[in-house]
Amino acid sequence: MIQIKDLNKTYGEGTNAVHALRNCNVEFEYGKFTAIIGTSGSGKSTLLHLMGGLDTKAEGEIFYDDEDILRYSDAQLAKFRRKNIGFVFQFFNLVPELTAKENIFLPMMIDKVKVDEEYFDKLTEKLGISERLTHYPSQLSGGQQQRVAIARALAAKPSIILADEPTGNLDSKTSMDVIALLKLTGKEFAQTIVMITHNEEIATMADQMIRIEDGRIFSAGVPDGANGGEKDA
């Protein structure tokens, strides 16, 4: 289980201080798809970045099982990210000079990780991009580029996927398709997914919804679309 305990994050000091997170306490169950929903500036991206070890300057605790990653050294944190976490961002961040397949393999090539070809074939088939692997990003639609980005995040078999507004640059239909695929691959490969979004309709596709406003967790529960309503934390 992932546990956030008394998490506080402040940018700046004194009269210029901005409290991005205020005494946040929440739990994420392994193997579940959780949506964190909130308006722009609510603190959801800050929370996700801290969970992924992209930022460590905060007060409180972030436990993965019994390990508090806020206490990790930079080297420990880098090793933890490479081994356990895959990131999906709003902007696809594909290298235009590389094919889809080369983009997917790029992080593993950098880390000198051996590719599991059988897993790769199954993953790209599930994502519907097996026929697009020799294409360059400019030859792919927005939805196809995001599927490539998802494949890149999943290719090294991380146990946890952190997705930051993964449908922010997509139309509504493509957005729903991408989230459905993300949910499908999460279940297929037993991965924990934590996604932030401002879109209520997309959030209802998750197993759990967490609502955050002004840096505070207001509720956590099952979204309406999953099991009859969201309950307060």
pLDDT per residue rounded down to tens, the chain (233 residues): 899 999 999 998 888 889 999 999 999 999 999 999 998 889 999 999 999 999 889 999 999 999 999 999 999 998 899 889 999 887 888 999 999 999 999 988 888 888 888 989 988 988 889 999 999 999 999 889 988 998 998 888 889 999 998 887 778 888 888 888 888 888 888 889 999 998 888 899 899 999 999 999 987 777 665 544 454 44
Separation CA 159–CA 219 (nearest Å): 25
Separation CA 73–CA 120 (nearest Å): 32
Separation CA 88–CA 75 (nearest Å): 22
Query: What phi and psi values does residue 194 have, to the nearest 5 degrees?
Result: -120, 120
- Please answer whether residues 29 and 208 qualify as being in contact, where contact means their C-beta atoms are separated by less than 8 angstroms: yes
- Its CATH architecture, for the domain 29-54+73-225, is 3-Layer(aba) Sandwich (3.40)
Three-class secondary structure of residue 143 per DSSP: helix
Separation CA 132–CA 138 (nearest Å): 12
- Assigned token pair, 66: 């019994």
All structural domains of the chain with their residue ranges: 29-54+73-225
pLDDT tens-digit readout, 145-175 = 988 998 998 888 889 999 998 887 778 888 8
